Amino acid sequence: MFELKYKTPFIWTEAVLADFDAFLQDHAAAEKKASGMAVTMLSHYPDRKSLVRAMADLAIEELIHLKQVLKIMQAKDIQLANDVKDQYIKEIRSVFRQGKEVFFLDRLLVAAVIEARGHERFALVGEALPAGKEKEFYEAIAKSEEKHKNLFVELSYEYFDKEEVDQRLEEILIAEAAICEKLPFRAALH
């Protein structure tokens, strides 16, 4: 559907594998926030029928992901970590434009790009892990996040002209690539 403009290098995967416990904690936080984001979206746009339905489904799906990560964490006796600010999310939100309609489009497309980045990086983790339950989990998560990526683009096409969506998506992809390039690698999704 669309391609990210920054390809995550292997040193990111190495940072993740070097402290996988910390990565799991960050992953759990990301799923929790993703579910919360879906609920916020349906609260802000109660008049958008498809969006409300899709966000209700998404909130549940992301919470299921949280539950699955928690299962892996608890088996290893790892606790949820305190919430910390995600610099990537903070910076990508700076692309939001003011104005009811353009703000709505930007929220949808930023969400699509965040899901796409989740898809890319969870797939890298899935590839790198040795055969087993955790590898299978990350492979499944990557597929699920790819569906979410497509969902947000489909919703954008439903509410906006294709040309406007495609042009804005291109701009946001360029901005997201620049953010990824300058952020340090950690044992974290972003």
Q: Cα 54–116–141 angle (5° rounding)?
A: 75
What would the two tokens of residue 175 be?
């901005």
Considering beta carbons, is residue 114 or 129 the nearer one to Fe ion? Answer: 114
- Residues 103-132, mask of contacts with Fe ion (x by CB under 5 A): ------------x-----------------
Buried-exposed string 70-83: b where 16+ CB fall within 10 A, e elsewhere: bebbeeeebeeeee
- Residues 69-108, mask of contacts with Fe ion (x by CB under 5 A): ----------------------------------------
Residue 174, CB-side half-sphere exposure with 13 Å CA sphere = 5
Q: Is 6 in contact with 180 (CB distance < 8 Å)?
A: yes
Note whether 145 binds Fe ion by CB under 5 A. yes
Is 157 buried (19+), middle (13-18) or exposed (0-12) by CB count in 10 A?
A: middle
Q: Residues 23, 27, 29, 65: which binds Fe ion (CB under 5 A)?
A: 65
Q: Is 138 in contact with 125 (CB distance < 8 Å)?
A: yes
Considering beta carbons, is residue 35 or 165 the nearer one to Fe ion? Answer: 35
Q: How big is the site for Fe ion, counted in residues (CB under 5 A)?
A: 7
Q: Residues 148, 165, 179, 180: which binds Fe ion (CB under 5 A)?
A: 148
The residue count for the chain: 190
Note whether 62 binds Fe ion by CB under 5 A. yes
Considering beta carbons, is residue 151 or 169 the nearer one to Fe ion? Answer: 151
- Residues 25-44, mask of contacts with Fe ion (x by CB under 5 A): ------x--x----------
Residues that bind Fe ion (CB under 5 A): 31, 34, 62, 65, 115, 145, 148
